[in-house]
């Protein structure tokens, strides 16, 4: 195993430990609820009424799936754009290289 692979493996292990240790040390005793739920409770306790009702209120599993789809599409678009920009830069750096768009 090269030094580069060892460093990569140790960094991955450190990131996993960063997320796993707090969960293991807590033991599941925290009353963690998302900020959305906390804010909603505070607003309803203060007498706030929404201006309008939601047009579409999916079930929890569908909502999570839609959120994951949105994140995946955003990541795909970002990856595509960054790849295109890197490809353009690499093509421009080569002497005498033509861009495919110009041909």
Domain ranges of the chain: 60-95
Phi, psi of 53, rounded to the nearest 5 degrees: -95, 155
State whether residue 54 is helix, strand or coil.
Answer: coil
pLDDT value at residue 46: 86
Instruction: Give the chain's residues under pLDDT 70.
Output: 27-33, 97-103
Round to the nearest angstrom and report the end-to-end CA distance of the chain. 45
CA angle 63, 66, 68 (to 5 degrees): 110
- What pLDDT, on the 0 to 100 scale, is given for residue 60? 79
Residues contacting residue 1 through CB under 8 Å, at least 6 positions apart: 9
What pLDDT score was predicted for residue 95?
Answer: 77
């Amino acid at each position: 195993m090269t030094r580069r692979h060892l460093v990569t493996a140790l960094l991955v292990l450190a990131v996993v430990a960063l997320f796993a240790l707090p969960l293991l040390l807590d033991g599941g005793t925290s009353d963690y609820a998302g900020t959305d739920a906390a804010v909603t409770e505070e607003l309803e306790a203060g007498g706030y009424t929404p201006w309008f009702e939601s047009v579409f209120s999916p079930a929890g599993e569908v909502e999570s799936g839609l959120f994951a789809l949105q994140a995946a599409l955003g990541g795909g678009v970002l990856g595509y754009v960054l790849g295109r920009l890197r490809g353009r830069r690499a093509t421009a750096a080569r002497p005498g290289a033509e861009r495919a768009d110009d041909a």
